[in-house]
Amino acid sequence: MAALWAWGIARAVNIELPWSALLLLASGTWLVYVADRILDGLRFESSGQLRERHFFYARHRGKAVAGGVVVCLVLLWLIATRMNATARREDTALFAVALAYFCLVHLCRLGIERWFPKEAAVGALFALAVAVPAWSRLQGHRAALIPVVTLFALLCWLNCIAIEKWERPPGEKSSVLTTGLAHATTRWAQRHFFFVSSGIALLAAVACIRSDLSAAPVAMTALYLACTISAALFLALDRSRLSSVQLRIAADAILLTPLLFAVVTH
């Protein structure tokens, strides 16, 4: 998903990304995801807050760590030999912020999530990381990326909110919405999921229409349309009768909507 959106954003500003940039982003994203799942499993091992995705990595922790070491070596090789200087500098700064946040969450346990909810942090950092390959190669007019990256960050945040909501057992859902087990913004977004997803879909639709009227590149308009469809699908899934496992898979699949326009944007 990260590589797909990075490719789409680059195409929207007429930049051809090398395969190494997409592989680097995909590898880094996978490493962060696996590390987060493993650390969550260790952190909440006896708290009853773990979900199936945590149990999976708990059962296969050794294999995940071994695979992570291999991927990490590949990632370091790509950074040293294939990554351009600007992207390396910007990714280093972004990685430092992400590492500091996750260390505070998983290791220091200072309750930083009370002020900076993990769902929002993940959405923002993930969207920024996806934008770096295009941003670092764009000589001018970087502001053109801000709206689409912002919308993608909102979708990533909505993805985290939805997964947190859909994975909880029915009896636990209501208690989480009224207690302090989740951040206030998370509880608010879950209570008003219809309005939040509808609002993001509306913003994306307005951006899509504006992009089309302003004769922006077709690839950029297609990305805005992909954002609109993704937000609408979140709304539809929230009203579906799918199981929690099916919803968990669908929550990530929803963000693959740029594939619908891959032929147009190529």
Cα–Cα nearest to 126, from 79, 82, 94: 94
Q: Which helix (H) or strand (E) holds 237?
A: helix 218-238
165 vs 150: which has the higher pLDDT: 150
For residues 235 and 198, is the Cβ–Cβ distance under 8 A? yes
What's residue 208's pLDDT? 94
* Distance (Å, whole) CA 72 – CA 60: 18
Tell me how far apart the alpha carbons of residues 88 and 177 are, in angstroms, rounded to a whole number.
41
Query: Is 86's pLDDT higher than 90?
Result: no
Does position 47 have pLDDT exceeding 60, yes or no? no
The number of residues making up the chain comes to 266
Instruction: Give CA 87 to chain center in angstroms.
Output: 19
Q: Extract the tokens encoding 54.
A: 């945590």
Closest CA to 142 of 96, 98, 90: 90
Residue the block writes with tokens 């992400």? 98
Average pLDDT value for residue range 233-257: 90
pTM for the structure as a whole: 0.84
CA distances (Å), origin 197, targets 2, 111, 159, 237 = 21, 28, 10, 11
Residue 3 has pLDDT above 80, yes or no: yes
| pLDDT value of residue 112 | 62
- Burial group, residue 52, by CB count within 10 angstroms (0-12, 13-18, 19+): exposed
CA 223 to CA 228: how far, in whole Å? 9
**Measured distance CA(11)–CA(143) in Å, rounded:** 15
Read off the pLDDT of residues 204-218 as tens digits, 9 standing for 90 and up.
999 999 999 987 888
* pLDDT recorded at residue 172: 54
